A and B are shown apart, each in its own frame.
Chain A
Amino acid sequence: MKEIIKIERKRILNKKFLILFFVVLLLFSVNNSYYAVKNYDVLNNTGVVQTWKENLTHGKENTKVKFLKEDYLLSLKNKEESSSYVDETNLEDLVAMNYDGKKVQDLSDKEIKSFYSKRLSNIQEMLDDSSRINYTKSEKEKMMEQAGQLSSPIPMDYAEGWKVLNENMRKFMPLLLVLIALILLPLFGSEPQTKMKDLYRSTRYGKKKLDRARLITAFMVGIVLYLFGVMLYTIVMMTPFGWEGGSQPIQSNAATFFSVYNITYIQQIGINVLIGLLAMIFLIALTLLLTILTEGVMTGAVIIIFFWILLLLFDQIPLYPVNHLFANFMPLRMTDFLHYYTENDIYRIMGNSFTGLSWTALVSAVLSILLLILAVVFSDMKRMKKL
């Protein structure tokens, strides 16, 4: 079995493909990283006032042991020049989120003092006024309890690398998953020119054992490529920003300020990578099933590409019922990670409420298992009927 897996792995992962895979991912990551750092250039009418390097260095130096509390807010409020460095703009973004776009200079002393209670009342308001979900009393209480557990004051240490990585990973994941799926297509998709199928099917290990070895190879190769891709992207994205701040709470980022998950940036990345892995397993199971059914590399590729187009179309006009019942469990939206932390979607199953994150993970895992079972059943059926 080991030998067959090794040969199958070599068959689909030859040197040419590996180099191409690496180059595509590297180019994409470098491009993402370039645009991410360029966002930190401070501009005015005359051009770049501070380069991203100066901006980030200022941020690193001026955020050490800073906490989001009264004195920090007051220091910014009393500052005469306008804020331009990342440490100040971060704080301004958080104030704007909490106070409906208000500037820190416009905050009253009372508002500054009640910063964290205002955050809680905002979350309560979001739950009460949600047009999509009618939360029950106990659901609201549970979420508010979680939201209230955020240890305040929030440390405001420099963590731009993690923020950027978390925000940009959703752009990278679909590319990585599609590439892996395309690499795996030749496992069961036969090449008609070589006419090798008849030959290997008549060998001793060319039947059930070969099919099982191919299934194992698919998941092994998929997982290794996935982890490699994620590591490459993380390194390329983080290098210009630095690795500081991974233990900061995600609420120090304006995008996740109202999140009820009390986790750090590293934990957030961990969850994202795990969810991405589940999405990839689903896609591998789907790819295997499709190639077993169609037996053609190109036919499998057609269905995979059109499947992604469908998901992209659904993503163009996001409708709650479509997302809630379908798109949330599909790879594209599964890897659009931000919504797990901000949308507070819930699923009510047999009297229990599940968060969007946990239910998505569960459903995706179940769907992957079902697809895998179908793939095994169909490959056995086809082999037995000598199709």
Chain B
Amino acid sequence: MKELIKFEYRKIWNKVTIAAIVAMCIISTLYALIYLNLQWNTIDKNGNIVSGLKSYRALKEASKETEGILDNNYIQKLKKKYNASFDKKYLEEHPGYLGTGGMTKYMVPNYFINFAYYGVDMSNGNDKIGLDYKFLNSEESFYQKYRETLKEYFVLSNEWNGLAPYTEEQINVLEKKIENVKTPVRVEYFQGLANLTCYYEMEYPLIFVVLAFALAALYSKDSKSGINELSLSSRLGRKKNIRARWIAGNLFTVVVYFIFIGTLLAEHGIMASLHGWNGSAQTFYFGCLYNINIGTGILIQFIGGLFGALVMANFVMLLSMKTKNAKFTTVGAIVAVWLLLKGQGTYSQIKLLNPLQFKTSELIEEYLFLGKTAIPYFIVVLVLAIFYISIFLCFMRKSDKKYYLN
């Protein structure tokens, strides 16, 4: 069996697959390179505006000053420094700066503090970076305000987008979780990681398209060699070979997914560095209630994304099995990707069922309630992925018993 899987796995790596993977890597790199170079500029530690790719290194250098534990001492120092800074003056004179790709070392701490004030209305921009708040008089009052806002953030988000309003008991559960968030938080420069997750989420559908091309011929009868229909129609073929192909297909998905992640890590690591893994997840994901660091949060996103890719891979394999035609499978799978993309365009929580959603920051920030139990979205993703794959597998098994020559 092991040999058979190896053999089937190698067969997936044909000209079409390689073309799709190369195209995916080229698009990912080109897109990041062009946009990160053209769109961004930063105020460096000397108060100069640095543009293009070097702006990230300048920001990292400048951000050394703002890294640390956000405790009382930090807050008071930050207030003093920021109010006397060139950055503040510049932002006041250039109201569009942060909204159009501008960066400053104060973004990480100041945005986190402003979240405590704005909550659900928090967004990037010059108007939400100031520090003139009474609750900043002490560490206690700040984190108390932060916790109140977090509660309000969850309640309002659910009111607008949730499937059902929270009950009192559910709010109590959330309150306990909010209480358990460890403070003070750790602030680190994380712009490279922010780019990484942003481009990861944006380019994630590319994986689905690669799978649509690469796995379409797995069970088709129009393969290059023409031998597939013969081998798959034989008695052992229907039993062993079909299973070997399924394992090879999933194995291939994992490998392609790692290539995708590897490309992103290389691109953004080189451009803006992957510094900041150790910062508190709360500074990166405002709605995060876990006591984890940013690195763990991103890792959870990557694992969720892998589950989404596996769901898509199994869907393509099922289509291939049903249509037995590589071209129809590809077209069907691409139409499915398009429909999934369309399905993402809603604020409702119903979109959490969409496999394209399995990679988002909602993995770290969302809970679905079953009575009094708050189930983290990443657990839901795991269950959903197993459910989808089992269903697809069930249909595939029905078909493989009838896989005969025409």
Residue numbers of A with Cβ under 8 A of B are 192-193, 294, 296-299, 301-303, 305-306, 309-310, 313-314, 316-317, 319, 321-322
- Of B23, B34, B38, B222, the residue contacting A302 (CB under 8 A) is B23
Nearest CB in chain B to that of A191: its residue = B222
Docked Cα-Cα span, A314 to B34, in Å, equals 10
B327 interface residue, CB < 8 Å from A? yes
Residues of chain A with a CB closer than 8 A to B38's CB: 319, 321-322
Are B213 and A302 in contact, CB atoms less than 8 angstroms apart? Answer: yes
Least Cβ distance of A309 to chain B in Å? 6
Distance (whole angstroms) from the CB of B52 to the closest CB of chain A: 12
Which single member of A298, A303, A319 contacts B23 (CB below 8 Å)? A303
Query: For residue B31, which residue of chain A has the nearest CB?
Result: A313
Nearest Cβ on chain A to B347's Cβ, whole angstroms: 19
Contact yes or no, A302 B20, CB < 8 A = yes
Instruction: Flag B113-141 by CB within 8 Å of A: 1 or 0 each.
Output: 00000000000000000000000000000
A residues near B202, Cβ cutoff 8 Å = 313, 316
Which residues from A are CB-within-8-Å of B30?
A: 310
Are A319 and B35 in contact (CB-based, < 8 A)?
yes
Partner of A306, one of B15, B209, B217, B224: B209
Chain B residues 209 to 236 lying within 8 A of chain A, measured CB to CB, are 209, 213, 217, 222, 224, 226
Q: Is the CB of A294 within 8 A of B222?
A: no
Chain A residue at minimal CB-CB distance from B21: A302
B17 to chain A, nearest CB (A): 9
Q: Closest Cβ of chain B: how far from A74's Cβ, in Å?
A: 39
In the complex, chain A residues whose CB is within 8 Å of the CB of B19:
294, 299, 302-303
User: When chains A and B are docked, how far (Å) is the Cα of A303 from the Cα of B19?
Assistant: 7
Q: How far, in whole Å, are A298 and B202 apart by their CA atoms in the complex?
A: 25
B26 nearest CB across to chain A (Å): 8
Most B CB atoms within 10 A — which of A303, A305, A314? A305
Q: Does B386 contact A (CB under 8 A)?
A: no
Q: Which residues of B contact A303 (CB under 8 A)?
A: 19, 23
Complex partner residue of A192 from B24, B34, B209, B224, CB under 8 angstroms: B224
CA distance A297 to B224 in the complex (A): 12
Is B222 in contact with A193, judged by CB distance below 8 angstroms? yes
Tell whether A298 pairs with B31 under 8 Å between CB atoms, given A309-B209, A321-B38, A322-B38.
no
Question: Which residues of B176-234 have CB atoms within 8 Å of chain A's CB atoms?
Answer: 202-203, 206, 209, 213, 217, 222, 224, 226
Assuming the contacts A298-B330, A322-B38, asked whether A309 and B222 have C-beta atoms less than 8 A apart, the reply is no
4 new A-B contacts at CB < 8 Å, known A193-B224, A313-B202, A317-B35: A298-B213, A302-B19, A305-B213, A306-B209
Chain A residues with Cβ under 8 A from B209's Cβ?
305-306, 309
Residue B271 is within 8 A (CB to CB) of chain A in the complex: no
**Which residues B6-65 have CB closer than 8 A to chain A?**
15-16, 19-20, 23-24, 27, 30-31, 34-35, 38-39
Q: Which 4 pairs of residues, A with B, have the shortest CB-CB distance?
A: A306-B23, A298-B16, A302-B19, A302-B20
Considering only CB atoms, which chain A residue lies closest to B39 in the complex? A319
Min distance, Cβ A161 to any Cβ of chain B, angstroms: 27
CA distance A298 to B326 in the complex (A): 9
B17: nearest chain-A partner, CB-CB: A302
Measured CA separation A305–B20 after assembly (Å): 9
A313, B27: Cβ atoms closer than 8 Å: yes
CB closest residue in chain B, given A296: B15
Report the separation of the CA atoms of residues A309 and B25 in the bound assembly, to the nearest whole angstrom. Answer: 13
| Chain B residues whose CB sits within 8 angstroms of the CB of A296 once the complex forms | 15-16
Q: Is the CB of A317 within 8 A of B39?
A: yes
Q: Does B155 contact A (CB under 8 A)?
A: no
Quick check: is B334 within 8 A (CB to CB) of the other chain? yes
Which residue of the partner chain A has the closest CB to B27?
A: A310
In the bound complex, CA of A298 to CA of B19 (Å): 10
Complex contacts, A314 vs chain B, CB 8 Å: 31
Q: Which single residue of chain B is at the shortest CB-CB distance from A313? A: B31
Which of B16, B27, B203, B334 counts the most chain A CB atoms within 10 A? Answer: B16
Query: A198: shortest Cβ distance to chain B, in Å?
Result: 16
Do A299 and B24 have beta carbons less than 8 Å apart? Answer: no
A294 to B279, CA, bound (A): 48
Residues of chain A within 8 A (CB-CB) of B222 are 193
